[in-house]
Structures are given as C-alpha cells and as structure tokens.
C-alpha cells in the first residue's frame, strides 16, 4: 500500500529522445506519447532505471530497500543475515510516468513561450493532490476565464506582455492568438518558477529562467496545445557515413523525434513501507532517502537515447 508521495520535476536542457520504437509516419523513431491525448511522456520504468543507476553511482544507502533485490547472483547475499532477509523482494519506491507540464513553442516576440493548457493544469492538480508534502497550490483553474476557440483563438498570458506584438497579437510558430493578460496566470507562473524549475545554487542562470517563465507563460486552448505538442517537436535527421567513400551508407539515413530544450515534465513518485524482511522504514523515510538523488544544485540525469551525442540532459528537482 502506498503511504507517501512526492513529485519529481524534469527540465530538459538538451533535446530529449525517449523512443517508442519504429514509427509508421514520416518520423522513423518517434518519442513516447500518451495514447488518448498524444501528449509527450516518459515511461516510469526508464526514469526508475536511471534513478537506480544514479543511486548505485553515489552508493546511496538502502539501495535494495528502495529498488528491490538484485537478480545478480550473490550480489545481495549477506552471510550473517537470516534466510528471510536474503529472500528476493520488491522495492518500496514506485516511479510514475512523467507527464508534460510546459512545452516551449517558438514565438515572434520574446524568443519562445512556455505553453500549457487548462487540461494539462487540471491533470497536474489531480496528480499533485495525491501527496501532502509538496508546496500547496495557491492558484485555481476555476479563476481563469473561458478561452475562445473561434476564428481568432485566444490565449491567456501574464501581465508582462513580453510575447505580445503591438497589435495585441501573440504569434506562436505561424499561428496568431488574441492575447489576454490575466492575474491568475501571473500567480501560476510565480508558483511554477518557485516550485518546479531546477535549482542552480548561487549561479545566475536560475534567476534568469525564473524571470523567463513569469514573463512567457501562455495558457492555450486545449486543442491548440495538443497540436503544438504533437507537431512542434524537434525532428533531427541522422546519417552514418561510410568511412572510405565518405558517403552515406545504404539504409543509414533516418529521422528521430526529440522533445525540445526547455520542456518541463513531472513524474509522481510513490513509496510503500519497506518490503524487506527485518526492516521497518516507512514510505516517508523511503522518499526522504530517494530525494537525495540528484538533489545537489546543478546536478542532472541523462535520459533516453543518443547519450554520446549530448542528448537527454535533464535537470531534476524534487518537490518540497
């Protein structure tokens, strides 16, 4: 039984390819997506594997309690322990799928916008509501006005207006929206800046990105956000060169889909009480141990493929 929950925020600093195998569209290697919404996502099994690798690298205590007994022969055998203690057992840490929270979209003004939608924010409220440890939300979706999806669709923005042209138009990619400043969007942006963005210690870039999100948050109509998340990802063409001829090898030309830099996702992390015989750690204690992973300001995980070409650098932040 789950006894404690926490949120893990993932902020991409380089394009991220967490693949789903071969695709049937024009993209050979698409990213993982939810079936119903088509939003980008990362399966929890991949995140859990990276967290375990980080735990092994840093020699985190109680590794087998968090992630379960290893199947490697003899690895976890303790000659002084009882037979019950040496039995295989499941880990107490449960890692959920990472869901999209903010998706960056190219903007005519202000370089790019952090976009989201009421659908995404409502799902986030539902997911974060399962835990009591994260910072309480001081904003409400119900306080937002209804967004029109007429011939000239509307978008809610912060009072900064950094993204808005002189004619009150917000241009994202090649699409134009009527920009409507709203004080509740300011509160949402402030909360996201304070509670979800990665920590950089005393380095100046942390302050820059906090300011950026407070001036560039945009709440789009649900359908428009879905379309951007589906069609405005980064598609990279890759090749393999034949060493002698310096030409592309036969069949060695393919395209990969990536989540763009500056995407923000969140993954619910749950814990049960310890499943290892003879150990009595609670779920809250399990999460306290786990939250020491990548907690140092500036630390990161590498997720997905293409590690050797610098893809998948993700900064992490644990909910407080």
Report residue 208 as tokens. 């820059």
Side-chain half-sphere of 170: how many Cα atoms within 13 Å? 27
Is it the case that residue 134 has pLDDT exceeding 80?
Answer: no
Percent of the chain at pLDDT > 70 equals 89
Please write the tens of the pLDDT for every residue from 86-108: 567 888 999 999 999 999 999 99
pLDDT at 294 over 50: yes
Over residues 132-160, mean pLDDT:
84
Residue 73 banded pLDDT, cuts 50, 70, 90: very low
pLDDT at residue 71 tops 80:
no
**pLDDT tens digits for 176-208?**
999 999 999 999 999 999 999 998 766 667 889
Q: What is the value of pTM for the model shown?
A: 0.89
The packing angle between helices 183-195 and 205-216, to 10°, is 160
Q: Which residues pair with 106 in a beta bridge?
A: 112
Mean pLDDT of all residues belonging to the chain: 87
Whether 212 has a pLDDT exceeding 50, the answer reads: yes
Q: What is the pLDDT of residues 23-55, one digit of tens each?
A: 656 788 899 999 999 999 999 999 999 999 989
What are the pLDDT digits (tens) for 223-276? 999 999 999 999 988 887 877 877 777 767 888 999 999 999 999 999 999 988
Confidence of residue 74 (pLDDT cuts 50, 70, 90): very low
Instruction: Confirm if 96 and 269 have CB atoms less than 8 A apart.
Output: yes
Partnered with residue 271 across adjacent β-strands are: 4, 93
What is the DSSP secondary-structure string of the chain?
Answer: -EEEEEEEEEEESS-B--B-S--SSS-SBPBPB-TTT--BEE-HHHHHHHHHHHHHHTT-TTHHHHHB---STTTT--TTS-TTTTS--B-SEEEPPEEEEEEEEEBSSSSEEEEEEHHHHHHHHHHHTT-SSSPPP---GGGSPPPP-SSS-EEEE-TT-TTB-TTSEEEETTEEEEEEE-HHHHHHHHHHHHHTSPP-TT-THHHHHHHHHHHHEEEE-HHHHHHHHHHSSEEEEEEEE-TTT-SEEEEEEEEEEEBPTT-EEEEEEEEESP-STT----HHHHHHHHTTTT-STT-EEE-SS-GGGT--EEEEEE--
For residues 113-135, average pLDDT: 87
Residue 202: the pLDDT is: 65
Beta-carbon contacts of residue 227 (< 8 Å; ≥ 6 apart): none
Residue 21, pLDDT score: 67
Q: How far apart are CA 150 and CA 153, in angstroms?
A: 5
Of the CA atoms within 13 Å of residue 258, those in its CB half-sphere come to 26
Phi, psi of 171 (to 5 degrees): -110, 115
Residues 6+ apart with CB under 8 A from 301: 10, 50, 51, 54, 294, 314, 316
Where in the chain are the domains? 1-18+44-96+266-320, 101-232
């Amino acid at each position: 039984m789950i006894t404690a929950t926490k949120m893990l925020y993932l902020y991409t600093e380089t394009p991220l390819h967490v693949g789903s195998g071969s695709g049937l569209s024009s993209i050979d290697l698409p990213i993982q997506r939810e079936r119903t919404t088509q939003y980008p996502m990362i399966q929890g099994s991949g995140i859990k594997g990276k967290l375990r690798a980080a735990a092994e690298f840093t020699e985190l205590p109680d590794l087998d309690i968090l992630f379960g007994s290893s199947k490697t022969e003899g690895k976890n055998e303790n000659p002084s322990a009882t037979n019950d203690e040496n039995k295989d057992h499941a880990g107490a840490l449960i890692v959920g799928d990472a869901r999209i929270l903010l998706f960056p979209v190219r903007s005519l003004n202000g370089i790019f916008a952090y976009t989201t939608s009421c659908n995404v924010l409502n799902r986030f409220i539902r997911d974060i509501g399962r835990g009591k440890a994260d910072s309480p939300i001081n904003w409400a979706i119900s306080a937002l006005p209804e967004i029109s999806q007429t011939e000239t669709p509307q978008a809610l923005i912060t009072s900064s207006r950094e993204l808005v042209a002189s004619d009150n138009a917000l241009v994202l990619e090649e699409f134009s929206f009527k920009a409507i400043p709203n004080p509740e969007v300011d509160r949402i942006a402030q909360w996201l800046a304070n509670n979800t963005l990665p920590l950089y210690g005393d380095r100046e870039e942390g302050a820059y990105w906090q300011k950026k999100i407070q001036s560039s948050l945009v709440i789009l109509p649900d359908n428009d956000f879905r379309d951007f998340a589906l069609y405005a990802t980064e598609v990279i063409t890759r090749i393999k060169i034949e060493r002698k001829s310096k030409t592309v090898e036969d069949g060695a030309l393919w395209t990969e889909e990536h989540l763009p830099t500056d995407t923000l996702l969140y993954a619910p992390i749950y814990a049960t009480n310890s499943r290892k015989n003879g150990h009595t750690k609670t779920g809250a204690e399990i999460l306290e141990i786990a939250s020491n992973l990548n907690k140092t300001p500036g630390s990161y995980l590498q997720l997905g493929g293409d590690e050797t070409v610098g893809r998948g650098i993700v900064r992490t932040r644990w909910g407080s």
